[in-house]
Amino acid sequence: MRRTRIPYGPRRSQAGDLWVPTQPTGDLPLVVLIHGGFWRAQFTKALMARLARAVVDQGWAAWNIEYRRIGPLGGGGGWPQTFEDIADAVDHVATMSGIDAGRVVTCGHSAGGTLALWAAGRHRLPDGSPGSSVKVVVRGAVALAAVCDLAAAAASSVGGDAVARLLGSGSPPGPDRLAVTSPAALLPLGVPQTLIHGLEDTVVPPSMSETYAELAKAAGDEARYVPLSGVGHRELIDPRSPAWDAISTSLEHVFSS
């Protein structure tokens, strides 16, 4: 397989690694991988490298993206910069040769799951909001132990003060900002969503994914909650874990639909 670093903007954090098979056949479906770490600077796209390899082993392409994060070395992340970077990284797919821009799925872990679902629902944003101008339509989202409801996460201190630091709108974050950042507030997204969560997760409660999936279905979305017994938080990004079968099956479902 081949890995190529590609900038999608002028800043150091505005770049990603495009992973493709050594000898691709035709235009490839693409998985946009978005790492977690509660949007903090010390966590990087290196977290998703093994998952990128596993995606390419399936015959797909992987776009493992970095973005501006919060903290002194984060490049100036937070609202709206982090969200603008995710939108720009997804839209940059339109410029890539050998990629089928009509078959793009986002896959994010933990705080990256927030961004993966948000990217899939950008068409729901009010005109003029950061990220609302969509060039590449996401076909579906696979969220791994996702922080999929920012209001609930802030209220229950998931990630400590991470949500307040991300949105920069006080504690608790204001409803106007939550309305254009929290995936739960954007429902229905109008695309298939799979929420995969380990039942041994002590970082992000599995109930968050379960409740989100119920809300999404009630709003008319195709949404599935996949609980995994005996699986914790980090195992979801380890392709050697039982989680990979659920992830690959979910991606295949979206690509073939």
Q: Provide the pLDDT for residue 170.
A: 58
Predicted structure pTM score:
0.96
What's the chain's average pLDDT? Answer: 95
Please give the residue that has the higher pLDDT: either 25 or 148: 148
Q: What percent of the chain has pLDDT over 70?
A: 98
Average pLDDT (66-80) is 93
Phi, psi angles (nearest 5°) of residue 84? -60, -40
Model pLDDT for residues 124-173, shown as the tens digit of each residue? 999 999 999 999 999 999 999 999 999 999 999 999 999 999 998 655 56
Q: Provide the pLDDT for residue 199.
A: 98
Domain range for 166 = 2-256
- Residue 142 CA to residue 94 CA, distance in Å, equals 21
Q: Provide the pLDDT for residue 172.
A: 59
Model pLDDT for residues 91-101, shown as the tens digit of each residue? 999 999 999 99
Phi, psi angles (nearest 5°) of residue 131? 90, 0
- Residue 155 CA to residue 32 CA, distance in Å, equals 29
Average pLDDT (4-24) is 95
Please give the residue that has the higher pLDDT: either 172 or 243: 243
Model pLDDT for residues 181-223, shown as the tens digit of each residue? 999 999 999 999 999 999 999 999 999 999 999 999 999 999 9
- Residue 193 CA to residue 139 CA, distance in Å, equals 9
Residues 6+ apart with CB under 8 A from 21: 1, 2, 28, 56, 59, 61
Q: Provide the pLDDT for residue 121.
A: 97
Phi, psi angles (nearest 5°) of residue 163? -65, -45
- Residue 191 CA to residue 249 CA, distance in Å, equals 16
Phi, psi angles (nearest 5°) of residue 65? -105, 145
Average pLDDT (33-50) is 97
Q: What percent of the chain has pLDDT over 90?
A: 92
Find the CATH number of the domain harbouring 143.
Answer: 3.40.50.1820
- DSSP letter for 241, please: S
What is the domain count for the chain?
1
Average pLDDT (13-28) is 92
Q: Provide the pLDDT for residue 176.
A: 87
